[in-house]
Structure 1
Amino acid sequence: RPGVPITRPEIIDEDATSARLRWQRVYTPPYRHSEPISYQIEQQEAPHRNWRPLARGITMTEHTITDLMPKKDYLFRIRAESQNGDISAPTPPISYYKSPTPSPRIPRKTVDYKMFEQDFSVPSRCYVDHLTTFIPPRLPLDKPDMTEDGPSTVSLRWRPAQVPERTRDKYPITYSIEVKNPPNFEWNDVESGLTGLSHTLKDIHPDVDYMFRIRAHNEFGSSEATLPVSLYRPIEVEQYYDDEYDSDYEVPFVTLGDCVPPKLPMETPRLTSVTGERAMLHWLSARIPAYAKKVPITYIVEIKEDNMPGFSHFQSGIIDPKFLIEGLNPNMSYQFRVKAETQFGCSDPTLAVSLDRNKDKVKRPLIDMKREDLEIPQVKMRDAAPKGVPPRMSSSRPLITNHYGGNLLLTWGPARVPSYVKGSLLKYTVEKREPPHSTWTVLADNVEDNEYDVTGLNPERDYMFRIRAKNQFGASDPTMPCSVINVRDDYVPPVFSRSQSRDSGTPRMSRRSSIESPLVLSRQISLDESDDMYRSGMPPEFKSTVEELQYGVLGKTARINLAVRGFPLPVIEWTFKGNNLFDKNKYKSIITPSGVITLDIFNLCLDDIGEYKCTAENDNGIKIIIVQLEYADAPTFIEPTEDMYLDSHKSGRFECKVDGIPYPKIRWMKDTRPITETSRLKIQHTKPNQWSLSLNDVISLDSGLYTCVAENVAGKSISSSNLFVDDDSDNEGKHPVEENQFP
Structure 2
Amino acid sequence: MIQVAGWYITSRVFNGNTDSRMRFGGPSPSLAPAPVLLTPLILLLLAAACSLVNARPPCLDSEEFYYPHTGVTRPPWCDHFFNPPQFEEKPRDQRVMSDRVASFTCRATGNPEPKIQWRKNNRRISGNARFIVLQVPGGSILRIEPVKYQRDEAEYECVVENAAGDTIRASAKLEVLSDDPNSLPNGFPYFRTEPKTKAVEIDHTALLVCDARGNPDPNITWFKDNRPVDLTNPRYTVLRSGSLQISTSTEEDGGKYECVAENNVGTAFSNLVSLYVRGEYFLSTLSTSGVSTFCLRYLRQG
Q: Larger RCO: Structure 1 or Structure 2 (Cα < 8 Å, ≥ 6 residues apart)?
A: 2
Larger strand proportion of the pair:
2
Q: What interval of TM-score do these two structures reach, taking the shorter chain for normalisation?
A: 0.3 to 0.5
Q: TM-score, normalised by structure 2?
A: 0.40
